[in-house]
Amino acid sequence: MSLRMRWLALGALSIGLGGLVTAAHAQAPQTVKFGLATLNDAQHEYIKRLAAAIEKESGGRFKSEVYPASQLGPIPRQIEATQLGGIQIFAAPPEFFDGLDARFGLLSAAGLFRDMPHVVKSMADPEFRKAFYALGANRGIKVAGLFLSGPTAINSRKAINNFGDIKGLKLRVLASPFQTRPIAHLGGTAVPMALGDVLPALQQGTIDGVMSTVPVLSALRYYDAAKFITETNFSFTISMSAISKVWFDKLPADLQKVVADNAYKIASEMQPYVDEFYQAQRKVWSEKGGTVIDLPKADKEKMIVELGALTEKTVVSENADMKALWDITLAAAKRN
């Protein structure tokens, strides 16, 4: 073989090998990290379903990794990582995004929703979705799905048999005026605190109780530290899936559709699981020696009206942007 022929053959081989390397690189799946603070609850179930769905529908272009129980850090750090693209999808109640936009806290407003079915219908309202899902876009967050976790309850070291028993208690809440001000109005002290610090604080008596939902409290075994749960129902805890906009915007259109469509679709399908899980964890709480206190319906309805008026007067009226979203959300609640 002539020298020229040898060089041509080597060149062809080099191009061929280069093409194989490029093809192999292109086919390598992209790792998608899912973060959340809770474990074995509705949020965890949602993330597992979403992780499996996008991995399957991407045709092998995604490889999902799920990190529950704050394995990727406390909630504020996980939100920052999602903004920067280090975490691709993160789930938590929207109140935790209050630092990005105070309007994220609005869904936990007292008196906004009547019951669990009402929450679900209102969140599916097109006008509400258009307004709420736009939040956070200028801060690196794409709201992708909302689903109900459960009605608000107070887990406490001593029994709360009426709203007057809240007076003087230190209660852990989410860092949002929609939770801090109602507790202050009822005579308690609202203590925002990272989820990982709550159980030790209850055990040590640093706080007297925590505002959350029965499924979360039971799944995390809070009955060992504080056995009383009082179902107040004056607000509801909603979970939100947030996609890193930095990451999402770089995806090809077909993968963007896979992620966004499944994030919303799976959230909209969560309610049967949430209802079943809620009742099961309520039962587990009692079986583990805990006590569930259901306040009289008349007392709850009276307090919902009172706290709803407080919300609109002292929180919503202070912020024009908040008022605009409140009006849209309230209209959606009335339509549904």
Residue 123 scores a pLDDT above 60? yes
Q: Between 59 and 22, whose confidence is greater? A: 59
pLDDT band at residue 313 under the 50/70/90 scheme? confident
In a domain, 324, yes or no: yes
| 211-226 confidence digits (pLDDT tens) | 999 998 998 899 999 9
Instruction: Name which of 81, 6, 1 is nearest 36 in CA terms.
Output: 81
What CA–CA distance (Å, rounded) separates 31 from 295?
47
- Lookup: tokens for 138: 């200028």
pLDDT band at residue 21 under the 50/70/90 scheme? very low
In a domain, 234, yes or no: yes
Mean local confidence (pLDDT), 68-95: 96
Q: How far is CA 123 from CA 17, 119, 220, 245, in A?
A: 53, 6, 27, 22
High-pLDDT (> 70) share of the chain, %: 92
Residue 62 scores a pLDDT above 60? yes
pLDDT band at residue 1 under the 50/70/90 scheme? low
Residue 106 scores a pLDDT above 50? yes
| 263-297 confidence digits (pLDDT tens) | 999 999 999 999 999 999 999 999 999 999 999 98
Cβ neighbours for 112, distance < 8 A, ≥ 6 positions apart: 106, 235, 236, 308, 311, 329, 330, 333
């209660």: which residue's tokens?
A: 171
What CA–CA distance (Å, rounded) separates 157 from 335?
39
């009082």: which residue's tokens?
A: 230
The pLDDT of residue 58: 98
The pLDDT of residue 15: 55
| 154-203 confidence digits (pLDDT tens) | 999 999 999 999 999 999 998 788 999 999 999 999 999 887 899 999 99
Residue 145 scores a pLDDT above 60? yes
In a domain, 217, yes or no: yes
What CA–CA distance (Å, rounded) separates 290 from 157?
11
In a domain, 15, yes or no: no
The pLDDT of residue 118: 94
The pLDDT of residue 19: 52
In a domain, 311, yes or no: yes
In a domain, 5, yes or no: no
What CA–CA distance (Å, rounded) separates 179 from 109?
7
Q: What is the CATH number of the domain that holds 249?
A: 3.40.190.170
What CA–CA distance (Å, rounded) separates 191 from 211?
10
The pLDDT of residue 22: 47
Q: What is the mean pLDDT of the chain?
A: 91
In a domain, 108, yes or no: yes
Mean local confidence (pLDDT), 231-259: 96
Residue 68 scores a pLDDT above 60? yes
What is the tally of structural domains in the chain?
1
pLDDT band at residue 14 under the 50/70/90 scheme? low
The pLDDT of residue 124: 96
Cβ neighbours for 118, distance < 8 A, ≥ 6 positions apart: 333, 336
Q: Which domain holds residue 184?
A: 28-335
**In 3-state terms, what secondary structure has residue 301?**
helix
In a domain, 8, yes or no: no
The pLDDT of residue 185: 95
